[in-house]
């Protein structure tokens, strides 16, 4: 799961010179993930993992890192 998310983020949303050095706890928002990127990421996650992430939970705590995204997904996975 994390590898799919990581690949999408660094191929489609954020340019990082060395993505392999970006840890799963590093801050995606500080790296340049913006509101449009968050929406694209949520759509990707919902499609790829068959989960619905509630709009009311779109919050920096849920999207600030790859680990936070994984935890958010797991809370809503059926």
Report which of 14, 71, 27 is spatially closest to residue 45, judged by C-alpha positions.
Answer: 71
| Residue 52: burial class (beta carbons within 10 Å; 0-12, 13-18, 19+) | exposed
- This prediction has a pTM of 0.92
CATH no. for 25-78: 1.10.1200.10
Confidence (pLDDT) at 17: 86
Q: What ranges do the domains of the chain cover?
A: 25-78
Confidence (pLDDT) at 77: 87
Write out pLDDT tens, residues 17-61: 899 999 999 999 999 999 999 999 999 999 999 999 999 999 999
């Amino acid at each position: 799961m994390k590898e799919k998310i990581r690949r999408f983020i660094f191929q489609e949303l954020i340019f990082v010179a060395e993505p392999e050095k970006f840890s799963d706890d590093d801050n995606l928002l500080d790296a340049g993930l913006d509101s449009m990127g968050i929406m694209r990421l949520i759509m990707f996650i919902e499609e790829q993992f068959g989960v619905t992430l509630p709009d009311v939970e779109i919050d920096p705590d849920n999207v600030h890192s790859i680990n936070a995204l994984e935890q958010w997904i797991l809370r809503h996975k059926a």
